[in-house]
């Protein structure tokens, strides 16, 4: 059963309850369109029923592949960009010990192909030189520039290190079912492969092997993660006015009132990359046609001493959505100190998280008083189950939200703009006209 | 000599050159006010001449203290929040090997006291259990909640582990010269101490021992870092229309034209925390009185596959400032592949950074075409010298920018709001009235 709650009572000082209620029918209708495949961009709705449709067989195959890599290696580099990076990164960071990689963790999952950093690759290659490593390469086409460069470099290194045959056993490719450069290579070399479904875009792919395999390699329970998502799917798709509908209604109502920036804040730094994933999900889905809520992220209380001043007192265009985690997984009490110079003894014997919770409540009251409408997403703890619920909640909320605005939520035409220029500047074969044009423009 | 350049030619399609030129006299005047101490908030201008006034003796003392900690320990936990965290973090991340801490680095600098994470402390304490560790605790008063909790926990751990005497040799306190809880404790226990100057606010403190000691502990050359800042100080304070003046003029002109969000973007992920530091610096300085440019950050090309779509096509309220690093520190060439399935052979033999540079140029052109005014900060490489220049440039640009808007750039009244509520909710002694009031409010 789904366990995550959504609260919106702290927005009604900024937008009337009746006004928000007026957005609910539209949000419910948008959900029906998403569910029935009648919204814009409906060739990319494969994510909607992913959690309930993934088979036990596929999950077992992923787990077995992960275990094979875990047996053969102690470092796996996941090569991917955008949704082929952020989904796995978000889940792994949420579930990991913050310091595990500084000790001799039995498995480290690193990332590459998500930047074009010459120093990054120098350092990564140096680091891997004396490690038993494997590669999980994720690319629909196999020709996306960033991951293709990363894969060339690391494949060469791995083959030189352990030979082509062993390398072939340590490389897993997640790619198109039948076409593209990576599919051809994987077939030629006999790599183990998983398929990126045609109807699932990168930013909605965390519940496909794109997210699941790296999460399993990192040692987490992907069946529990998928179950969490499935619980949320079943609840939402069968419940009018569900929490994803509510979230979409509230944020659209606020946006229409001039609150054009949404700050997603957590009080648990492990959710930092969930926020980064959310920024991609919402920014790339909604930021088009001169529209869209601008997504920004904060880790509190850290950033209360950074962005906190702005949120409290800056331009009143912000709404804030807080992810609250009710219970930590461990227990740490604040110690007593006989001298009490720091005057903290009034907190001695209390859980650290008790202070965190009062900071959270105090912040909510302060920001609302300061003119920032506040929503809350409450999860009982951080676990595979709850992260699965949370990510599906955000995906569905996004699908509803974009569909309410009558945009194609599932394309990303703007991402091509820099790529096209880059190919022209790099004189990529096939871009001869563009190369000429861009040089003319630069010489103007 | 300062080496950083600033370019603004890609904003003139959005705001007339004459219009920007009209902001220059105001920016120059603001700089004079900052320089001469006649701007608002002038009791917090100690940072202006920090680089030129810090003595060789102080620097040697910091280096010696760092070396002592490096000899006694292999992990130092820096306890601080806000500017007492982000300055050191930004410089250390910029200069560090991205994977150094995953191997047996001779020294790891970790951070605490910048959050209230119960799981974070559980994991940190577990990690430190079998490490030789030391503590660098930073707090003006010694009673700020977050660092005070962190210090209680880690001091107890350290004393239990190595005894009070050895612990006293491994703890360095950076605090007020004469008053406050941490000063008293440090004097009682005989800790080595450094002083936080009264006239330097947290977010401007990276060139005091607050930033310098952790940077030195991490093994970096603080003299070169200070020299970089000094070069920038001398150039700027003696040059009308200098690059900090230009930056302040441009961003204020754009803000007045309705570009109310500034995205600071890099093409080198090592600058990620420089961006976080910049967000604090500008957000906390300018986000007040219902005003201020909203600061946001991106790491490209990673985030071109996330926020890129929004930047290209979303609401046209964005200006973009790109930090460009001309030369990487290492050399990695893109390998040739006989099969060339990924069609990357047209790049074979090229530096990875060559592709990165074309991505950068292609992105600039795309974003400008998409309606985003673009500024560039160009640094020759990442080194102690250039990071010193960069941070001073941003500090002065911030002082000028805020002074142009006639605000007190150097206070942060909004940060108190959550703290006051938190103390009331925690029943902190002295907050009895506030506790009663906030409970009444909550029960309404």
Does residue A103 register a pLDDT over 90? no
Interface of A with B in 368-387 (CB under 8 A): 369-370, 382
Q: Clarify whether residues B208 and B251 are in a common domain.
A: no
Pairwise CB contact (< 8 Å): A417 & B312: yes
pLDDT tens digit string along A360-369? 999 999 999 9
Q: Clarify whether residues A241 and A194 are in a common domain.
A: no
In this prediction, residues A257-261 reach a mean pLDDT of: 98
- Mean pLDDT over each residue of chain A, to the nearest integer: 97
Pairwise CB contact (< 8 Å): B344 & A143: yes
Q: Clarify whether residues B31 and B77 are in a common domain.
A: no
Does residue B241 register a pLDDT over 90? yes
Predicted confidence band at B320 (pLDDT cuts at 50, 70, 90)?
Answer: very high
Cα-based angle B264, A266, B272 (whole degrees, multiple of 5)? 25
Tokens of A421: 């220029």
Distance between CA atoms of residues B127 and A100, nearest Å:
8
Predicted confidence band at B88 (pLDDT cuts at 50, 70, 90)?
Answer: very high
Does residue A62 register a pLDDT over 90? yes
Q: For residue A160, what pLDDT is reported?
A: 97
Distance between CA atoms of residues A133 and A73, nearest Å:
5
Q: For residue B239, what pLDDT is reported?
A: 97
Helix H or strand E segment including B61: helix B56-72
Distance between CA atoms of residues B214 and B89, nearest Å:
8
Tokens of A161: 């290190």
Contacts (Cβ under 8 Å, ≥6 apart) of A249: A20, A23, A24, A26, A27, A404
Angle between the N-to-C axes of helices B145-170 and B118-128, in degrees from 0 to 180, rounded to the nearest 10 = 10
Q: Clarify whether residues A308 and A171 are in a common domain.
A: no
- In chain A, which residues have their Cβ closer than 8 Å to the Cβ of B122? 328-332
- Identify whether B117 is part of a domain: yes
Q: Nearest C-alpha of chain B: how many angstroms from A22?
A: 24
Does residue B103 register a pLDDT over 90? no
Q: What are the DSSP calls for B389-407, one per residue? A: HHHHHHHHHHHHHHHHTTS
Q: Clarify whether residues B320 and B366 are in a common domain.
A: yes
- In chain A, which residues have their Cβ closer than 8 Å to the Cβ of B98? 119-120, 123-124
- Identify whether B439 is part of a domain: no
Distances (CA, A) of B220 to A375, B88, B95: 43, 11, 8
- Identify whether A388 is part of a domain: yes
Q: For residue B187, what pLDDT is reported?
A: 97
Q: Clarify whether residues A26 and A172 are in a common domain.
A: no
The question of whether B419 is a catalytic residue gets the answer: yes
Cα-based angle A90, A93, A95 (whole degrees, multiple of 5)? 105
Q: For residue A423, what pLDDT is reported?
A: 97
Residue of B315, B337, B428 lying closest to A291 (CB–CB): B315
Q: For residue B166, what pLDDT is reported?
A: 97
Q: For residue B206, what pLDDT is reported?
A: 98
pLDDT tens digit string along B126-136? 999 999 999 99
Cα-based angle B233, B326, B373 (whole degrees, multiple of 5)? 80
Predicted confidence band at A1 (pLDDT cuts at 50, 70, 90)?
Answer: confident
- A·B CB contacts under 8 A: 434
Q: Clarify whether residues B130 and B261 are in a common domain.
A: no
Q: For residue B336, what pLDDT is reported?
A: 96
Among residues A180, A203, A225, the one where a domain terminates is: A225
In this prediction, residues A419-436 reach a mean pLDDT of: 97
Q: For residue B429, what pLDDT is reported?
A: 95
Tokens of A272: 């930092």
- Mean pLDDT over each residue of chain B, to the nearest integer: 97
Q: Clarify whether residues A63 and A173 are in a common domain.
A: yes
Q: Clarify whether residues A265 and A142 are in a common domain.
A: no
Among residues A192, A225, A258, the one where a domain terminates is: A225
- In chain B, which residues have their Cβ closer than 8 Å to the Cβ of A330? 118-119, 122-123
Q: For residue A444, what pLDDT is reported?
A: 81
Q: Clarify whether residues A302 and A339 are in a common domain.
A: yes
Q: For residue A435, what pLDDT is reported?
A: 97
In this prediction, residues B265-286 reach a mean pLDDT of: 98
- Identify whether B422 is part of a domain: no
Q: For residue B274, what pLDDT is reported?
A: 98
ipTM: 0.97
Pairwise CB contact (< 8 Å): A332 & B415: no
Q: Clarify whether residues B254 and B115 are in a common domain.
A: no
Q: Which CATH number goes with the domain that contains B253? A: 3.40.50.10490
Tokens of A156: 């060469």
Does residue B1 register a pLDDT over 90? no
- Identify whether B218 is part of a domain: yes
Residue A440: burial class (beta carbons within 10 Å; 0-12, 13-18, 19+): exposed
Specify the number of domains making up chain B.
Answer: 2
Q: Nearest C-alpha of chain B: how many angstroms from A318?
A: 10
- Identify whether A444 is part of a domain: no
pLDDT tens digit string along A290-328? 999 999 999 999 999 999 999 999 999 999 999 999 999
Distance between CA atoms of residues B193 and B177, nearest Å:
9
The question of whether B284 is a catalytic residue gets the answer: yes
Helix (H, G, I), strand (E, B) or coil at B381: coil
Domain that residue A244 falls in: 5-40+235-404
Pairwise CB contact (< 8 Å): B310 & A294: yes
- Identify whether A196 is part of a domain: yes
Q: For residue A104, what pLDDT is reported?
A: 81
Among residues A225, A252, A272, the one where a domain terminates is: A225
Interface test mutation site (partner B, options A90, A308, A360, A427, max chain B beta carbons within 10 A) = A308
Residue of A156, A296, A418 lying closest to B359 (CB–CB): A418
The question of whether B5 is a catalytic residue gets the answer: no
Spatial contact of B380 and B386, defined as CB atoms under 8 Å apart: yes
- Identify whether A441 is part of a domain: no
Interface of A with B in 36-95 (CB under 8 A): 81-83, 85-86
Q: Clarify whether residues A125 and A213 are in a common domain.
A: yes
Q: For residue B43, what pLDDT is reported?
A: 97
């Amino acid at each position: 059963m789904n366990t995550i709650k959504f609260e919106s009572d702290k927005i009604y000082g900024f937008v009337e309850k009746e006004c928000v209620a007026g957005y609910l029918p539209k949000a419910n209708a948008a959900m029906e369109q998403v569910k029935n495949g009648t919204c814009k961009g409906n060739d990319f709705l494969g994510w909607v029923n992913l959690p309930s449709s993934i088979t036990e067989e596929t999950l077992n195959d992923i787990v077995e592949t992960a275990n094979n890599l875990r047996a053969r290696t102690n470092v796996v580099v996941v090569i991917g960009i955008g949704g082929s990076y952020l989904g796995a990164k978000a889940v792994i960071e949420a579930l990991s010990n913050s310091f595990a990689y500084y000790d001799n963790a039995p498995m480290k999952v690193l990332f590459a192909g998500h930047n074009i950093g010459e120093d990054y690759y120098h350092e990564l290659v140096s680091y891997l030189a004396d490690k038993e490593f494997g590669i999980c390469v994720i690319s629909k086409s196999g020709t996306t520039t960033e991951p293709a460069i990363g894969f060339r470099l690391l494949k060469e290194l791995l083959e030189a290190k352990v030979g082509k045959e062993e390398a072939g056993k340590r490389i897993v490719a997640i790619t198109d079912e039948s076409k593209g450069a990576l599919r051809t290579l994987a077939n030629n070399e006999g790599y183990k492969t998983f398929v990126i479904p045609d109807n699932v875009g990168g930013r909605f792919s965390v519940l496909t092997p794109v997210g699941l395999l790296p999460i399993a390699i990192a040692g987490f329970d992907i069946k529990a993660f998928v179950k969490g998502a499935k619980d949320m799917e079943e609840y939402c798709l069968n419940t009018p006015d569900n929490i994803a509908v509510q979230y979409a209604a509230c944020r659209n109502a606020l946006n229409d009132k001039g609150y054009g920036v949404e700050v997603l804040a957590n009080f648990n730094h492990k959710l930092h990359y969930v926020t980064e994933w959310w920024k991609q999900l919402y920014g790339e889905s909604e930021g088009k046609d001169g529209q869209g809520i601008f997504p920004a992220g904060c880790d509190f209380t850290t950033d209360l001493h950074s962005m906190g001043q702005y949120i409290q007192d800056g331009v009143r265009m912000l709404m804030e959505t807080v992810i609250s985690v009710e219970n930590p997984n461990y227990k740490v009490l604040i110690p007593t100190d006989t001298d009490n110079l720091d005057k903290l003894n009034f907190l001695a014997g209390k859980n650290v998280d008790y202070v965190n919770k009062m900071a959270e409540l105090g912040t909510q009251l302060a920001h609302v008083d300061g003119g920032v409408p506040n929503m809350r997403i409450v999860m009982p703890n951080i676990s595979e189950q709850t992260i699965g619920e949370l990510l599906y909640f955000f995906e569905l909320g996004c699908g509803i939200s974009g569909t309410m605005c009558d945009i194609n939520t599932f394309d990303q035409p703007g991402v091509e703009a820099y790529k096209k220029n880059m190919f022209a500047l790099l004189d990529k074969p096939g871009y001869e006209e563009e190369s000429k044009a861009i040089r003319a423009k630069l010489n103007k």
